[in-house]
Every structure is written in C-alpha cells, then in structure tokens.
Amino acid sequence: MSDRALVARRAALLMASAALMVVGTQDIRALRAYRETVVVSEAFTRQVPLSTYFDGIRGTLMDVPVFAFDSGVPGGSVLILGGAHAYEPASPVMAYVVMENIAVTQGRVFVIARANMSASTLGMLGNAYPPFFRVRTPWGEKKYRIGDRETHPLEQWPDPFTFVHYPSKQNLAYQDSRNMNRTFPGRPDGNLTERTSFAISELIRREKIDLTIDVHEASMGYPVVSTYVCHERAEELCMMAAMMLSAEQFPMKTENSPKSLRGLTHREIGDFTESFAVLMETPEPFIDKFVGPMTEALMLTGKDEFMQTAADRGLLYAEYDMKTGATLDYRVGRHLAGAAEVVKQMGEFYPGKKVLAAWPTYAEVMEKGIGAFLHDPAGADPSRVFRH
Amino acid sequence: MMLLQTLIHHTYFLLSAVVALLLLTRLFRRKSRPGLAYDIVYAYAIIPFILRALHVK
C-alpha cells in the first residue's frame, strides 16, 4: 500500500471515530446541557446563588440557586434540600412542586432543588438508564434529568484512594469524596463536593435555619426506606410526625442518626449547626440492584416483576405490590406530606419556631398526579420562571 | 489545598490531551505494526481521551 493510501485509510478511520464520538455522546451532551424549568409561586421573595454563603464555589456548576419564600411574619425557618443524590428524582421533583405551589403565612422557607447539580448531569456508569424522564401535565410534558449519585468526574477528579471524612477523620470509600451525603459538614478548603456541603452548612448557620429537611429516595432492599432519619435533637419531631403519618396517611418509620456514621446531613448538620436535621427516604425500585430493565417507565411507575419476587420472599423493607408499584406521584406525595408533618411538629413543640406553609398534600397528589401542580413556563410571568 | 486540588484536576485533563495527541501521532506515524487492525485500535482508543480532554465525558 502506498504512503498516500495509508494516510487516507488512517484519516478515514479517524473520521469514523469522530463520527462515533459525535453520535455516541448525543445523550451525554444533551443531559449536560439541559436545564429544568421551574415556575415559582407568588410567595417567592428572592433567589441567590449558593456562593452568597461561601465564595469557594463561585463560578462552578455547584453554585446552585437558593430560593427563599419569606412571609415577613416572625417565625421559624425551614430549608428543603433536594437533589443531594441526583438519581433519586422524587427529591428534586418534590422541591419543584413545593416551589411552584407554596404559600407561606408565617416564617421562612428556603429551597435548594438541585443540591448537587453536577451529579444530575451524568448517568450511572454501567446502569444503562435513560438520561431523562417526563412528567405529564395538563399543558404538555415536563422533562427532568435522572442523574447519578455522585459529583461528575468532569467537576471533581481524581478520587483519593480512601476518602478521609473531615473533621471526624473517618475512612470512607473512595467514591464518597464525590458523595454529597458523605461530605457534610463540609470543608472550606476541601474538594468541590466538600466545599458545596460547607456552603450549605454556612447557609444554615447564617440564615438561622431551624429545620433542615434533606430529601432522598432509597432502594427497597435497604432497611431505612420509608423512614425519617433524625439527629437526636430532632427525635421527638420525627417520632410524632411518623406516628401521625402512619395513623392518617401512609406507613412511615423513624430512626435516630447513628453517631458513628459520618458525613451525612442528619448527623453533621445536627452536630455543626443549630438546625434540627431530618432526612427522608421513599421507596424507589428504580435504584434497587435486582430490578429488570431500568427504563423511564420503571422510574415513573416503580412496577417490576423481580421486585415482586423479592417482596414475595420477604426480602424488602417496605410493602410492595406490583399492581400499584411505587409511582413518582406516590413518592413525591410522601415527601410533601413528610415535610409538611415535620414542619408542623416543630411548631407544636417549639411555638417560637412555627412555620405556616402550605403545599400540595399527599391526597391531592395521589388524586391528580404531580403534573397538575407543575405550571407551564410559557404561560407564566417571566419574572417567576427559572432555568435550573 | 484548594489550589493543589485544582491543579491536579486540570493536570488530569491535560494528561488526557497529551495521551490523545500521542495516539494521534502514532496513528499516522509509526514504524512497527502498520496493519489495518492496529490502525483501528489506535483510532478507537483515542476516543475516551479526546472526550475527556474536551470535557464531554
């Protein structure tokens, strides 16, 4: 083969690789570029970047917006933290439903819908699930990112051999250096995830947040599913809230935050700030390891035959019936009710910290679906539409 | 420490670019293993390094 033919062949192969790169990364690039929209309610008062509380994350993807809903009436303050683990989407969607519908008559409510924005811009390696899911609304579909558990390596890499949690010095798995729910209370000169956790801790301290609710989802083979996990200072709030929910709406457990498990919000926010720290988990079959194909339908319905087999054999930590599954409506509804109940209990136990805030109830969401509570950005006042 | 981490992070991208460049050079200019199979391997192996250097994946 002549030199010219050889160069032409190699150039053609390089072009083929370039074509593969363009075609093969379409989903990856779309996920990274896509921004979710939220139409905030009339109770909205201001939005500031998280870097307002700690400059060390300014200009990064982690500099997420913090939305404030201030009644102007003295009372307590609540922070709803969504999306610390992006692949638990009932968490950010619950935050969006709150932001779009909240009415506050006493106290203040702060919402971060995508606490780890970076994690929401990639999928989990090897799990082959779709980048997005869509929620039907009366005016069309609303699209959300599914995301991963940890911060994107494009933002933070390489991982250490062992992640040493600050300040406890507890040794954790290497990937936990990018796991937002292992990096609290954060470190001002730490890695990006630690700095973001520190910024959130600073927000809690500076805004004198009385109650922090970190919203998650759990696999059903995990004992802490359908549970409040609470710092010991918040124990009585959670006990009462769990009892009320279990008696009136749906089964809810409560557990105290283990003192030896470091880096989690329910432990570190409780230890390093004045805030009551509560974490909520709903059942999310999508992230269980033994389910079938991880499709958009599984994300939205939670119906899976392998999950049913596990339930029949008594291997799950929550009730499961494939006929009803664990729909996104159910999971978001649970979170809405779970947050409302614990806020209510804070006001009962500590009248000076009372927050009167309303958002869609579990019953309303189960009846109408979450789509009924998500508003059309095209028809909304532009000053209340945010891309996220 | 932040500066050191940032430096390590960016060095990582730089290394990806260097490896990509090395593979690219070897694709077109190499004396041993001139066959088609090796051309394909070089052209394919370059993909992850370019994607990382360009902050795509």
- Is the pLDDT confidence value at A3 over 90? no
pLDDT of res. A259: 95
Helical residues (DSSP H) of chain B, grouped into ranges: 2-28, 36-53
| Residues present in chain B in total | 57
| C-alpha of A234 from chain center | 21
Phi-psi bin for A349: left (phi > 0), alpha (psi -120 to 50), beta?
A: alpha
Task: Inspect the interface and report whether the beta carbons of B47 and A17 lie closer than 8 Å.
Answer: yes
Number of neighbours of residue A117 by Cβ within 10 angstroms: 27
What does the mean pLDDT of chain A come to?
96
Q: Structural domains in chain A?
A: 34-387 (3.40.630.10)
CB contact under 8 A, B2 and A189: yes
Name A145's bridge partners. Answer: A132
Chain A residue whose CA is closest to B34: A6
Distance between A281 CA and the closest CA of chain B, angstroms: 30
Residue A286 distance to chain B (closest CA, Å): 24
The continuous run of DSSP H or E covering A282 comes out as strand A276-283
Token couple for A107: 């106290």
| Cα–Cα distance for residue pair A92/A115, rounded to 1 Å | 9
Q: Cβ contacts (< 8 Å) between A17 and chain B: which residues?
A: 43-44, 46-47
Does B5 contact A at CB distance below 8 Å? yes
Measured distance CA(A196)–CA(A205) in Å, rounded: 14
pLDDT of residue B2: 82
Q: How many CB pairs under 8 A join A and B?
A: 49
pLDDT above 90 for A289: no
pLDDT digit string (tens) for A245-257?
Answer: 999 999 999 999 9
Nearest to A10 among B8, B27, B57 (CB): B27
The answer to whether residues A38 and A375 touch, using CB atoms and an 8 Å cutoff, is no
Q: Which residue on chain B is closest to A12 by alpha carbon?
A: B43
Provide the token pair at A150. 């940890």
Task: Please determine, for residue A15, whether its predicted confidence score (pLDDT) is greater than 80.
Answer: yes
User: Is the CB of A59 inside 8 Å of chain B's CB atoms?
Assistant: no
Say what the pLDDT of residue A128 is.
86
Evaluate if residue A150 carries a pLDDT over 80.
yes
Closest alpha carbon to B28 in A16, A12, A19:
A12
Is there a contact between A345 and A337 (Cβ–Cβ < 8 Å)? Answer: no
What are the backbone dihedrals phi and psi of residue A272, each rounded to the nearest 5 degrees, phi first? -105, 0
The better pLDDT of the pair A21, A1 is held by A21
How many Å lie between the alpha carbon of A117 and the closest alpha carbon of chain B?
16
For residues A266-276, average pLDDT: 98
pLDDT of residue B31: 85
pLDDT > 70 fraction of chain A, expressed in percent and rounded: 100
Is pTM beyond 0.80? Reply is yes
- Contact yes or no for A13 and B40 at CB 8 A: yes
Closest CA to A180 of A200, A150, A204, A157: A150
The reply to whether A16 touches chain B by the CB within 8 Å rule is: yes
Whether A100 shows a pLDDT value over 90: the answer reads yes
pLDDT at A31: 95
Q: Is the pLDDT of residue A1 over 80?
A: no
pLDDT of residue B34: 86
* Gap between the Cα atoms of A382 and A349, Å rounded: 40
Give the distance from residue B2's alpha carbon to the nearest chain A alpha carbon, in angstroms.
Answer: 5
Distance CA A281, CA A253 (A): 10
Report ipTM (2 d.p.): 0.92
Number of CB atoms found within 10 A of residue B48's CB = 15
- Across the interface, which of B12, B28, B44 has its CB nearest the CB of A17? B44
What tens digit of pLDDT does each residue of A30-72 get?
A: 999 999 999 999 999 999 999 999 999 999 999 999 999 999 9
Residue A25: name the closest of A119, A122, A116 by CA: A122
Average pLDDT over residues A87-111: 98
* A7–B1 C-beta distance less than 8 A: no
Across A125-129, A181-185, A195-199, A347-351, least confident range: A125-129
User: How far apart, in whole angstroms, are the C-alpha atoms of residue A337 and residue A215?
Assistant: 12
Task: Give the Cβ contact number of residue A223 at 10 Å.
Answer: 12
Chain A: give the shortest CA distance to residue B49, in Å: 11
What's the pLDDT at B33? 87
Q: Where are the domains of chain B?
A: 2-53
Q: Which of A80, A351, A332, A361 is nearest to A248 (CA)?
A: A361
